[in-house]
Homo-oligomer: A and B are copies of this chain.
Amino acid sequence: MTTTEREQQVLDRIERARRRRAKVREERITLSHGAGGKSTHTLIEAVFLDAFRNPLLEPLEDAASLTIGDARLALTTDSYVVSPLFFPGGNIGDLAVNGTVNDLAVSGARPLYLTAGFILEEGFPVEDLLKIVESMKTAAEAAGVQIVTGDTKVVQRGKADGVYLNTAGVGVLTRTGLGVATVKPGDAVLVSGPIGDHGVTIMLARGELDIDADLESDTAPVHDLVAGLLAAVPGVRAMRDATRGGVATILNEIAKAAEVAVVVDENAIPVRDEVRGASELLGIDPLYVACEGRIVVVVDGAQASDALAALRANPLGADAAVIGRIADDPPGIVLLNTAFGGTRIVDLLVGDPLPRIC
């Protein structure tokens, strides 16, 4: 099949999907709608995309690409409702700064300016707010961004859970044309380090598992890691930070947007023993567990080892690995070659085993 045939095929499939309008079957919002998996995707398509439909929103990338004057910009937003607010390795403040920095970075933008919108619960200790804000300051400095505008609302006791925090971010695009829809058969799939640290850390911090583990959230800004990769590898197709829904969700988004098969090798995926152990207790595949400082990268297959070297050259990518490749068939599907020699489909997450992870 030629590139043009493939592109036409993708456009046809998008058009068919568009006519097959998504519909939220539930009458009420459930936690699953916020989990990043199947329900979230349906909600976004049936409610938000259907109403706001425009060419900038349509790609559903982590950030929208805008042109204003001669400036090519990326714009993104995320709200944070993580519980608990403080956890080993970070708190809601640096998580919110790093998260928005990362959404800009993986879109090919140099992060520049952030907004901060606080929703505070009446009775929240001012001392804790000061700690959160101090972490935001430190994280912003580390990522080279400025928090330039903000907003504070307060709701009555019981009407929030301490603090909810929204950050939006603007960056300048240094590389355009990136995106999951540009992925092609023959490309290689990499992750920048061990997966699931953040999600398991949050579950342990809630005391819901009766185990001790020497584990910290991987929350970190990936702008330098991304810049190094883009400088070294011209054939980067797409990057995503693997947050809610974990690496499995990103792989599914790639498979569906590009109408390709994503084939990954379980043995190649870096997972810490602590994360593997806790995931087993939770009955969840580490592939679905959120990271907050790890990226999934798809590159031209011929440049896989260059990409691996570029990632490993940065401390945040020291344990990067090639975990799989893009194939033609079956389109839209993620296949996992298991550690035991079998093959299984890795679908989008159903339900929400890890609520309020970010």
Chain A residues within CB distance 8 Å of chain B: 24, 26-35, 40, 43-44, 47-48, 51-52, 54, 56-57, 63-64, 66, 68-71, 73, 75-81, 112-113, 115-127, 129-130, 133-134, 136-137, 140, 146-156, 158-161, 164, 166, 168, 170, 172, 352, 355-356
Contacts and interface: CB of A to CB of B under 8 A. Distances in A.
Contact of A121 (B27, B29, B57, B75): B29
B137 A52 contact: yes
Contact of A71 (B54, B70, B121, B125): B70
Contacts of A48: 116, 133, 150, 152
Given A47-B133, A77-B117, 8 more contacts: A28-B122, A29-B122, A34-B155, A48-B150, A52-B137, A76-B115, A79-B117, A81-B153
Contacts of A147: 52, 54, 57
A292 to B, nearest CB: 15
A24 B71 CA distance: 40
Contacts of A71: 68-71, 73
A178 to B, nearest CB: 15
Contacts of A356: 153, 155-156
B154 A77 contact: no
Contact of A115 (B75, B130, B137, B158): B75
A121 B115 CA distance: 23
User: How many copies of this chain does one complex carry?
Assistant: 2
B122 A31 contact: yes
A33 B148 contact: no
Nearest to A58: B148
Contact of A34 (B79, B120, B161, B352): B120
Given A113-B64, A166-B117, A172-B68, A77 B149 contact: yes
B137 A33 contact: no
A136 B51 CA distance: 9
Contacts of A77: 115-117, 149-151, 166, 168
B155 A56 contact: no
Contacts of A57: 146-150
A99 to B, nearest CB: 10
A63 B30 CA distance: 35
Contacts of A352: 154
A113 B29 contact: no
Contact of A26 (B73, B126, B152): B126
A119 B164 contact: yes
A93 to B, nearest CB: 10
Contacts of A34: 120, 152-155
A79 B31 contact: no
A71 B356 CA distance: 37
Contacts of A66: 112-113, 148, 170
Given A69-B70, A136-B52, A137-B52, A155 B151 contact: no
A64 B27 CA distance: 40
B122 A30 contact: yes
A150 B123 CA distance: 29
A130 B47 contact: yes
Nearest to A129: B47
A77 to B, nearest CB: 4
Contacts of A81: 119, 153, 155, 159
